[in-house]
Amino acid sequence: MADPEPPRFRDHGAHVAALCAAALRAVDPAEAVRRNLSVKDVSEAERVWVVGAGKAGVAMARAAAEILGERVSAGVIAVPHAPEIAPKRITFIEGGHPLPTVGSLAAGQAIAHLLEQATARDVVIALISGGGSALLELPRPGLTLADLQITNNQLLRCGAKIHDINIVRGALSHIKRGGLARLAHPARVISLILSDVVGNPLHLIASGPTSTDLTEKTLTDGTDSPAWAVVTQYNLQNTLPRAILDVLSASSVQSFSSSAQSVDNRLIASNRLAGEAAAEAARVLGFDAHYLGDDWQGEAREVGARFAQTCLSVTQAARPACLIAGGESTVTVRGHGVGGRNQEAALAAAVAIESLSNIVISSFATDGVDGPTDAAGAVVTGETVTRARAIGLNPQAYLENNDAYTFFATLNDLILTGPTGTNVNDLLLGLVY
């Protein structure tokens, strides 16, 4: 039998779509819950409570309700958009993202009230996914919603990594940094966690509401704390609200006693799972596929340029190659445009591969929402910059103005999936024909 025809550049749109679809199927939140939860987990429980927060909350809750059936006593889940039809005895509350809203606080209060009923004979199922930090909040005394919104906005705009952002968020909350598990005490907690943080540190995914593995010491002087270190690293000590600075300067961490409560944290899906699935799909299409890891971080434009240079290094490969990298970049906002980290990374990549006829690069957010836009990311080729210049667009000017969305919308090169219902960071796909 003759060898199959190798993948051709003319089909690059279909190839990118196929790889994105394979990645998203691998981290389908409902399937992940089905793989990691069974009715045996609650067989000895008197009552079962279902709580949680995140962009994957609707699918996760539906799967949990399907598995547990009538065993569910009640539940509250914080999500970006509540479904029209909810599983029996589970309430969805719409919180805010990327900034907390009144709904975020309402969800925190509702979960705290629900868990007041939990006893040592009960099991609490916690469903945690990316976005949970903003969607679910129970602020420490003295903090207002406006304080939290200002702080989150400054952290997001200054280029801080999600690790650093969630360290600060955790210090300002009663429900983060193990707080949800404390509220559930003395019940047994089973936490199903879909990771959107590089390296999958449980204490930082959605700011770790059920994490008992806190490495920070209990402090009386918050000026030595990791949260305060983040504030000074990004020079925010003179711009954050006074109430925020007061809480951080008195920050302390409550510790768990392993003998006092059982918390079973289960990582059920991650960026690596999505990336490896995309690589396998690329091999089926005929590419020599290489997965480059899930730890790509830094300024989005620098990540995009670095990924493009990696693709350039394999242009002389014997057969078409596919490079896949995962992670989450950041954007230090200096301009006044509209965009997201994936769109900015793609624009930087487009500049790096200008005039090359055999390279395609895509950068997209697995949740389908890149920054404050309706796009998941963008796809670029060596012709992207040429096309832009032909209609009077200056790619560098759009990059400097943080306006990648307008650039790609004009060229019709945005990836528009709508919210995908999952969230495991971002993926960079490079196809070299």
What mean pLDDT is predicted for residues 320-333? 96
Q: Is residue 2's pLDDT more than 60?
A: no
Q: Is residue 255's pLDDT more than 60?
A: no
CATH number for the region 10-25+272-432 comes to 3.40.1480.10
Q: Is residue 254's pLDDT more than 90?
A: no
Distance of alpha carbon 368 from alpha carbon 285, whole angstroms: 24
pLDDT tens, residue by residue, 375-432:
999 999 999 999 999 999 999 999 999 999 999 999 999 999 999 999 999 999 999 9
pLDDT for position 246: 92
Distance of alpha carbon 273 from alpha carbon 194, whole angstroms: 11
Backbone angles phi and psi of 337, in degrees to 5: -90, -165
Fold assignment, 28-138+173-216+253-269: Rossmann fold (3.40.50)
For residues 80, 86, 91, 93, the Cα torsion angle rounded to the nearest 10 degrees is: 20
Q: In which band, very low, low, confident or very high, does the pLDDT at 213 lie, cut at 50, 70 and 90? A: low
pLDDT for position 251: 57
pLDDT tens, residue by residue, 219-253:
334 455 899 999 999 999 999 999 999 999 875 54
What mean pLDDT is predicted for residues 155-164? 91
Distance of alpha carbon 241 from alpha carbon 231, whole angstroms: 12
Of the candidate ranges 62-66, 208-212, 364-368, the one whose mean pLDDT is the lowest: 208-212
Q: In which band, very low, low, confident or very high, does the pLDDT at 217 lie, cut at 50, 70 and 90? A: very low
pLDDT tens, residue by residue, 113-154:
999 999 999 999 999 999 999 999 999 999 999 999 999 999
Report the share of the chain in percent with pLDDT over 70. Answer: 93
Distance of alpha carbon 396 from alpha carbon 363, whole angstroms: 18
**Alpha helices (H) in 172-241, listed in sequence order:** 179-184, 226-233
What mean pLDDT is predicted for residues 161-177? 94
Domain residue spans of the chain: 10-25+272-432, 28-138+173-216+253-269
pLDDT for position 4: 65
Taking all residues of the chain, what is their mean pLDDT, rounded to a whole number?
A: 93
pLDDT for position 5: 79
pLDDT tens, residue by residue, 285-306:
999 999 999 999 999 999 999 9
pLDDT for position 219: 38
The whole-model pTM stands at 0.87
Q: Is residue 218's pLDDT more than 80?
A: no
Distance of alpha carbon 66 from alpha carbon 47, whole angstroms: 16
Nearest CA to 393 among 379, 416, 411, 375? 411
CA distances from 77 to 126, 193, 263, 272 (A): 9, 14, 19, 26
The two tokens of residue 298 are 């830094």
Contact predicate 364/373, CB 8 Å: no
pLDDT for position 259: 40
pLDDT tens, residue by residue, 33-49:
999 999 999 999 999 99
